[in-house]
Amino acid sequence: MAYLDEGQGPCVVMVHGNPSWSYLYRNLVRELRQEYRCLVPDHMGCGFSDKPQQYPYRLRTHIDNLEALLDHCGVGRCVLVVHDWGGAIGMGWAGRHPERVAGVVVLNTAAFRSRRIPFRIAVCRWPVLGALLVRGLGGFSRAATVMAVQRRMRPGVAAGFLAPYTSWQDRVAVHGFVRDIPLSADHPSMPALVAVERSLAGLAAKPMLICWGGRDFCFNDHFYRQWQQRFPGAEAHYFPDAGHYVLEDALEEIAPLVKDFLARCLGAGPS
Please name the residue ranges forming H helices in 97-171: 119-122, 129-131, 139-147, 155-162
Percentage of the chain exceeding pLDDT 90: 93
- Domain ranges in the chain? 3-265
103 phi/psi in degrees, rounded to 5: 175, 170
Q: Which of 65-69, 104-108, 113-117 has the weakest average pLDDT?
A: 113-117
pLDDT average, residue stretch 86-106: 98
176: number of Cβ within 10 Å: 23
pTM value is 0.96
What is the CATH code of the structural domain delimited by 3-265? 3.40.50.1820
Mean pLDDT of the chain: 96
User: pLDDT at position 268, please?
Assistant: 54
User: pLDDT at position 245, please?
Assistant: 98
Q: Is 89 helix (H, G, I), strand (E, B) or coil?
A: helix
